[in-house]
Amino acid sequence: MIKPAGLDELKWSAALASFRDAIGEEWVFISPEDTALYRDAYSPYWGEPEEILISAALAPANTAQVQEIVRIANQFSVPLYPVSTGKNLGYGGAAPNSIGDVVVDLKRMNRIIEVDDKRHYAIVEPGVSYFDLYNHIQSRGLNLMVDCPDTGWGSVIGNALDHGVGHTWGSYRDHFLSHCGMEVVLPDGELMRTGMGAMPGSKAFADFRYGYGPYVDGLFAQAGFGIVTQMGVHMMPQPEGWLQKRILVRRRHDLIPLVEITNHLENSGIVGEVIFESELFYRQPTDPALQQIARLADVWNGDAINAFAQKNDIAVWQVTLNFYGPEEVMEAQWRYAWNEVRKAIPDARQINGERAKFPLTAGQSASVMNKSLIGIPNLGAFSITAKNAFNPVEADGHLFISPILPRDGAEVLKAQQIFTEGLREIGADEMPIFGPFAQPFAFHPRAFLLAGFIPTSRSDPEVNRRARDVMRFLINLAAENGYGEYRASPFFQDQVMSAYSFNDNAYRRFCETLKDAVDPKGIIAPGRGGFWPSSRRRDGAQ
């Protein structure tokens, strides 16, 4: 039987008895069948001794029970790992940072406490998924749109706390930026509210995030300083309409002025999410000529790519602009955007994309391809890793490699070369992660994400060993060039935090100092974010 680190059988039995008294025996899960449900479904150590398996899971029903769980954990020195719904696939799922830790599963805490479509906010518990919030709004006919990530089954709170992102206006699709007010169980079981919530009787909990004094909310994201049991969320008013327009450019280096223009458009509040794509990226797996071009040593100058695109009448880059608002406003914004593009890239082309009016009809909801762009939670993103030209053998899962780049076209072209040539040097260029057609993602309002998928397996340890090696190599390569990961699986969080190494890792040392002050026993999520309590620091800082 797996036990938490440092606990003997007697102490562990006593802790379990106390947990059962606090939340009910049926909500304390210790059987192998139950605890297996909290494995990282995409673990790069599946079935190996290093795989992170838990000792137990606890499912409290309310904040008072969370407080009692934390108090008991302090009494018996039981490390806890809170999850909202545990759907963080590709970044660890529900698995903690250490074998034997106890998961606090908050799915039962699924109350939608308040939704206001005049002041445009919601207050929710951690078990509320994007599907839940969307259905609540739709069933009541509220004038709000949900900004949802690519997979809608995850928690609104959990996604924000891991710095997750969505697809509409920048101030909404940065989900931690759009949060407002928290209720948090601290590592000693004390209950705290942040922002205006710290004032009893405040009527602006979800309106003004700062309150008075230090702004501490960031301590509860990607860290182990407490368990968030409520959170306010600023929500987007339902617009009158949605309009998509696509711009196509002919040359590889057209990306540079295109990014400058779209930066101006988004930072001025004229467009929502900007989506960069390359048809060459999608054609490469099935086009031998394009595959040969991608392997050329001088592919980076763009000459061969441009010649191929011209011969086949293909745009090297396509950018999709998304507008939200009244019809006449969206059309005016598009005309302005298109004029700005033509000034810099005279031979750019434009084509119509999709459009919709709100409230949506059933037909509109069904017909839109990327439903997240119109606020409909879905699970369509899982098709990315299904069997296709990029994945001829369907993977059991994947690791996300997620380096953040400046939103600069020249930097994207440079990063493509750095990562592709790096993979070639270690003999891993068979992985279609980057390459000269890799597309930057503009989910984050002012930065690019050059994400890649590294396949994992439940049956082949060699695939997983390869995935781990490639992941570690890419994290280091990114750091050497000034690119840092913004999220990571537990197995790589120490390495990622170590890459943020300015002044002898002053950032990590500061986090450790705070951890020791507020959580001296290391109860809440030890190791989360790549820093550890003093009692386990030698094991954690790898």
What residues are labeled active site? 91, 486-487
What count of Cα atoms within 13 Å lies in the side-chain half-sphere of residue 266? 27
Q: What is the distance in angstroms between the CA of the first residue and the CA of the last residue of the chain?
A: 27
Close Cβ partners of 44 (under 8 Å, ≥ 6 residues apart): 399, 456, 464, 467, 468, 471, 489, 491
Query: What is the CB-side half-sphere exposure of residue 328 using CA atoms within 13 A?
Result: 0
Parallel, antiparallel or unpaired: strands 317-325 and 403-406: unpaired
Say if CB 409 and CB 415 are below 8 A apart: no
CA distance 322 to 330: 9
Let me know: does 421 contact 473? Beta carbons within 8 Å: no
Taking the C-alpha atoms of residue 465 and residue 297, their distance in angstroms, rounded to an integer, is 29
127: which 2 tokens? Answer: 């078990």
CA dihedral 86, 89, 90, 94 (to 10 degrees): 20
Question: Cα(330)–Cα(271) distance, rounded to whole angstroms?
Answer: 9
Distance from C-alpha of 253 to C-alpha of 303, rounded to nearest angstrom: 10
List of E strands, 73-226: 80-83, 102-105, 112-116, 121-124, 144-145, 179-185, 191-193
Residues 193 and 182: beta-carbon distance below 8 Å: yes
